[in-house]
Amino acid sequence: MHKSIFPEVCLGAWLGVGACGTLGAMGRFFLAVIVVAGIGVGVPARADTLGQVQTFRVNQFYDATGAAAVNATLRAIGQKGYFYVDDRAWGVLTIDEQQQFTRGLDALSAEFDAVIYPRLTALWGTENTPGVDNDPHVVILLQRLITGSGGYFDTINNYPRDRAPESNAREMIFVNASSVLSGNASSFTAHEFQHLISFYKKELLQNVEEDVWLNEGRSEYSITAAGYSEPFVGSTLQRRAQSFIRTPSDSLVEWPNTSTDYAITSLFLHYVADQYGADALSATLHANFAGISAFDAWLSSHGMSERFGDLFTNWMVASVLNDRAQNARYGYLTPGLQQIRLAPVVRSAIYGNTPRTDFSVTLQEWQPTWLTTDIAAAGELSDPISVRVPSSGLWRGAVIAVYQDGSYAVVPFSGGSRDVSVPQTATTGARISSVTAALAQGAEYAVGTRALVPQSGTVSIAIGNIDAHASAVTMSATPSPEPRYVQPVNGDIIKRIGQSDLYVVWGKYRRYITKEVLALYGFQDRPVREVPDDIFFRYEASFYIRGDGEKKVYAVRPDGTKHWLNITPTQWDASGRDWGAIFTVNEREVGYYRTGEDILK
């Protein structure tokens, strides 16, 4: 799994409540129950005490040493939060560092009560409270994490242990312990806290699986909503803006979990909030739709003719011009972002003897690009500059003409082949300086688990009539990629291209599974994701199961038989088998398999 600043772990699709995030659609167990909000009802009220030591299950992918569980001590208690500190992180600190850490932790606790919690719940709504543990406090575990990880959120902890044996049964988030001394803890906590709220509002209450890019984008905006983007210099938002400027042409909706993914979703959602208010982002959380569909639902409910594609086009224009003087849609309001202006991704020039440029472009869905042609010399001033865009109805964008006096003209386009024209002379009489085609393509509905489809096309820019000129220069705007496959998330059903065997993904494992077993959980109609070998073989095969609450481990074979591994733990270790490859399943699945011979070694 790719390391990132704010990885997220989620669980839920197999519980009938949806899923979210980089690692999440299913836990390492199957439950034939529907979990709903209010699962903490009837649990005795609890109250943790300062100095209390507790063992927490943690995510091995992000733990600095790959641990599955850590001991942590409760070192600060606020009105809204319990702040546990990983004993390993505490133990390596000097006396002076421990004192500094304690001051920082007390400040974080006060900040969570006075700023983070009230501001984010006012914007997004509350988390599930008192929740699964019947305690209104949010547990924040300051854990020793891998380098580059600010924190994560694991939805399995939102379920009681009788339904999810690996759950901590707490409303909790995980934050890198090192951030307390580095000064980033408040930002990281705000980011992860949104994920806790989002899981409750979206997955638990509405049974809607949110698109990762939008969930992460709301968490990015949460840092700003909590006030941590000012001052801009040194802020997370500044780092996102710098990353975006370096690599702007990244798909908004594809999520391999890199820094550029966080950059584009952060900048786009900040733009939307600048234009329509933060309530527009909040509406996507409360909508009974995911991703792009949630935006369209909000726009429609407010009587606007705009749709997501229009927002995206206006944002592409704003990324280049960032000037609200002629049109308020073409600029940011957020301090710091008002100075952001992109250089073109590809640049060419038109001279008198080379009157046309063709750009060959291949783009993933909602991957923006900016293709600029400088107009150095042109024939008659009465000849317009013509731009021809690709023919597929999925393409959209705008042609931006910039004139020598700084004025500009913008002509949006969408839905099929057409030529767009802009005059060589502005209304002020100024000559044209450059023409930029801001371009994207994509389906206007949620990503979900569907494959994302790249599209190829040609953009032509010419003086006068395009067909009157032979192509003088052909430029590759982007390399032609192989077909792109979205990285599976936990709980996805996958198969190799051209093969029929099915596997369910969790962590680094793929577990063989049949359609009949899927039907036991009511998931016989879940989509199957076909993946190439380079993705398929990233996952280690697992054929091991154990019943929920049982100790026996079985090997399951494709012929529908189960075989008890009648061996000791020492024999298991000596055989080289992996404990992490054991999947916990419900009793119905264990009973489904025919019993075969025991495995004795």
Q: What is the distance of C-alpha 113 from the center of its chain?
A: 27
Q: What is the pLDDT of residue 5?
A: 32
Rg (CA), the chain: 27
Q: What is the pLDDT of residue 428?
A: 85
**CA atoms in the 13 A half-sphere facing the CB of 367:** 23
Instruction: Annotate 454-490 with DSSP letters as a single string.
Output: -EEEEEEEEES-GGGS---EEEESS--PPPP-PPP-T
Percentage above 70 pLDDT, the chain: 87
Q: What is the pLDDT of residue 451?
A: 77
Q: What is the distance of C-alpha 348 from the center of its chain?
A: 34
Higher pLDDT, 405 or 218: 218
Q: What is the pTM of this model?
A: 0.76
How many residues make up the chain in this entry? 601
Percentage above 90 pLDDT, the chain: 46
Q: What is the pLDDT of residue 39?
A: 33
Domain at 346-476, CATH class: mainly beta
Banded model confidence at residue 29, pLDDT cuts 50, 70, 90: very low
Bond before 423 cis per omega within 30 degrees: no
pLDDT digits (tens, 9 = 90+) for 381-435: 778 888 988 877 789 999 999 998 889 999 999 876 678 889 888 888 888 889 9
Q: Where are the domains of the chain?
A: 13-209, 243-342, 346-476, 493-595
Residue 376 pLDDT greater than 80, yes or no: no
Q: What is the pLDDT of residue 58?
A: 93
Task: List, in order, residues 6 or more apart from 376 with CB less than 8 Å away.
Answer: 349, 350, 351
pLDDT digits (tens, 9 = 90+) for 99-115: 999 999 999 999 999 99
Q: What is the pLDDT of residue 414?
A: 87
